[in-house]
Amino acid sequence: MATESYKDTLLPLLLEASVLSFGTYTLKSGRVSPYFFTSSLLHTSTLLGALARSYASVLTSPPFSLLLGKDEAGSDSKVPYSPQFDILFGPAYKGIPLSAIVTRELEFSGKQFAGVSYAFNRKEAKDHGEGGTIVGAPLKGKRVVILDDVMTAGTAMREAVSIIKAQGGIVVGVVLLLTRQERVSDSEPRSAMKVAEDELGIPVRAVLKFEDLIEAIEAGQLQGAGPEQLEQMKIYREKYGSIGKGLVAAYLSRPNNTVIAGVRDLQHPTSVSLQSLPKDPSSSLIVVKIDSLSETDALDAVAKLESKHDVDNLDVVVANAGISAIWPAVAEAKPSDMIDHYRVNAVGITLLFQAVLPLLKKSSSNKNITPKFVTLGTIAGSIAAQETVPVPNAAYGPSKAAMNWITKKIHLEHPYLIAFPLSPGFVDTDMGKAGAKFFGMGPEVLITLDESINGMTKVIDSATRETASGKNLTYEGKEDPY
């Protein structure tokens, strides 16, 4: 994936240029951060070149650029994609040089990018000469991508969106150098990036993210950053980090839902932070401990739901716990790895099903609805697709094939239930990217977390015994072979 390889070449350069510093910094949002990313230190020709190429690699790939028609592709075309934007907009001040150097860089990607322009705003309106607040290409009626260096709480991006809209431009995306992966505010615990994607319905991509910085420090790649700085960054992450538990958030945002989240460790900050997810006033969240490796956790959780929370029926259960840790060929697979995957992905799912079955049955008999038991599918678990996905996978693959078998058998053994594996697709996260690359698939298969969650909830909502149960479905509602 283009973004990925640029991350690998860019990060060492940035660290060498000391763009990351440690101390006490007050941010635009007023937050006091133990680290600061100073993109203006990237002022040499070499660094500007690397920077421009990394932004350009994102902009010349989907979803910002899409496949060309045959006659559009010229012989000089370095990339097979055509831009879906007209103007790169850099919010003042640090976005200004970015918009210019990246526009220049796009020329090297082929003639289809020749018409792309740049524009930026002035922080103070100019009252002489040409006047106004916008410099560069007029925005009216144009498709605009915002380029900025860092996103923290997303204020700069929201300001840029309103400036562009006021000029009649259409914002179609945002590309950043670094997302600090912070929440918008205490009452909005989703990341600024996710909120922008949700509310503006546009793609927001970053070449680097906070987690990459943490990884670089942990790998000892950063001079001057040791255990103390790492600890400070992790404390800061607990304070301002975002929450991305997509399915829990999606069901909580709907009315009249009691959402039950199973977590391995109730005290883990991510588990605690689930409580701050926004919810519809008529919905509530219960967090219970379920470790898939435990033979009693799921039963204990159900007993607690009944005795403490008055929950005696369940309409939908999504069994999404799973591990995918190692990908050996059959000749190299270690028994311990095979067993670990089987225990979580097949036995853990079965134990959960056994524990929730009485509550699913009650939903069926008391409420006369057809309850749903959904497992998380993957093409890696398909025997029929082995020729098209020829990669070593002898621990995860067979454990998911077993899970598919168990899910289909649940469908056959319980005619009052809807049971099916549902594949979430390759979400554009490090794990999703690695997964897609591993299965020999290009960046075009990557989707946003939102697309995945929206697709999955839609498939679950509309599933019936006839249309879905016993089938191996994807988030798009398509059928994969078993």
Ligand X SMILES: O=P(O)(O)OC[C@H]1O[C@H](OP(=O)(O)OP(=O)(O)O)[C@H](O)[C@@H]1O
Q: State the binding partner of 432 from ligand ORO, ligand X, none, CB within 5 to 8 A by kind.
A: none
| By the rule CB under 6 A, 36 interacts with ligand ORO | yes
Q: State the binding partner of 245 from ligand X, ligand ORO, none, CB within 5 to 8 A by kind.
A: none
Quick one: which of 94, 205, 279, 433 contacts ligand X (CB under 6 A)?
94
| By the rule CB under 6 A, 172 interacts with ligand X | no
User: Which residues lie across from 224 on neighbouring strands?
Assistant: none
Quick one: which of 112, 152, 404, 457 contacts ligand X (CB under 6 A)?
152
Asked if residue 333 lies in contact with residue 392, where contact means CB atoms within 8 angstroms, the answer is no
Q: State the binding partner of 195 from ligand X, ligand ORO, none, CB within 5 to 8 A by kind.
A: none
**Interstrand relation of 204-209 and 170-179 (parallel, antiparallel or unpaired):** parallel
Nearer to ligand ORO, 94 or 408 (CB): 94
CA 422 to chain centre: 18
Q: Give me the catalytic one of 28, 126, 309, 367.
A: 126
Nearer to ligand X, 92 or 230 (CB): 92
The footprint of ligand X on this chain (CB under 6 A) covers a number of residues equal to 16
Quick one: which of 37, 55, 240, 420 contacts ligand ORO (CB under 6 A)?
37
Interface mask (CB under 6 A) for ligand ORO, residues 373-412, using x and -?
Answer: ----------------------------------------
Question: In what side-by-side order are the strands of the sheet with 372-376?
Answer: 316-319, 372-376, 418-423, 473-474
Nearer to ligand X, 48 or 395 (CB): 48
Q: What's the closest the beta carbon of residue 28 comes to ligand ORO, in angstroms?
A: 3
Nearest to 306 by CA among 316, 314, 296, 294: 314
Q: Which residue intervals of 147-245 are DSSP H helices?
A: 155-166, 192-200, 210-218, 227-240
CA 375 to chain centre: 20
Nearer to ligand ORO, 152 or 350 (CB): 152
Nearer to ligand X, 180 or 341 (CB): 180
CA 163 to chain centre: 27
Q: What's the closest the beta carbon of residue 148 comes to ligand X, in angstroms?
A: 5
- Please say whether the dihedral angle defined by the alpha carbons of residues 284, 287, 292 and 296, taken in this order, is positive or negative: negative
Quick one: which of 99, 152, 181, 345 contacts ligand ORO (CB under 6 A)?
152
Q: What's the closest the beta carbon of residue 87 comes to ligand X, in angstroms?
A: 18
Q: What's the closest the beta carbon of residue 36 comes to ligand ORO, in angstroms?
A: 5
Give the list of residues 6+ apart from residue 148 with CB closer than 8 angstroms, or none.
90, 91, 94, 95, 98, 156, 157, 160, 174, 176, 177
| By the rule CB under 6 A, 158 interacts with ligand ORO | no
| By the rule CB under 6 A, 416 interacts with ligand X | no
SS3 377: coil
Interface mask (CB under 6 A) for ligand ORO, residues 332-371, using x and -?
Answer: ----------------------------------------
Alpha-carbon gap, residue 131 to 280, rounded angstroms: 47
Is 94 known to be catalytic?
no
Q: Give me the catalytic one of 70, 123, 128, 140.
A: 128
Give the list of residues 6+ apart from residue 373 with CB closer than 8 angstroms, or none.
317, 319, 353, 356, 360, 407, 410, 417, 418, 419
CA angle 345–475–2, rounded 5-degree value: 90
- Please say whether the dihedral angle defined by the alpha carbons of residues 151, 153, 154 and 155, taken in this order, is positive or negative: negative
Residue written as token pair 């600890």 = 231
Is 126 known to be catalytic?
yes
| By the rule CB under 6 A, 242 interacts with ligand ORO | no
| By the rule CB under 6 A, 206 interacts with ligand ORO | no
Q: What's the closest the beta carbon of residue 365 comes to ligand X, in angstroms?
A: 52
Quick one: which of 147, 156, 206, 288 contacts ligand X (CB under 6 A)?
156
Helix axes 335-342, 396-413, angle to 10 degrees: 30
| By the rule CB under 6 A, 93 interacts with ligand X | yes
Nearer to ligand X, 208 or 319 (CB): 208
Residues 264-303 that bind ligand ORO (CB under 6 A): none
Asked if residue 446 lies in contact with residue 428, where contact means CB atoms within 8 angstroms, the answer is yes
**Interstrand relation of 418-423 and 473-474 (parallel, antiparallel or unpaired):** parallel
Q: Which residue intervals of 135-283 are DSSP H helices?
A: 155-166, 192-200, 210-218, 227-240, 246-252, 269-273
Nearer to ligand X, 29 or 474 (CB): 29
- Residues of this chain that interact with ligand ORO (CB under 6 A) are 27-29, 36-37, 150, 152
* Site residues for ligand X per CB under 6 A: 28-29, 91-94, 148-156, 192
Residues designated catalytic: 126, 128
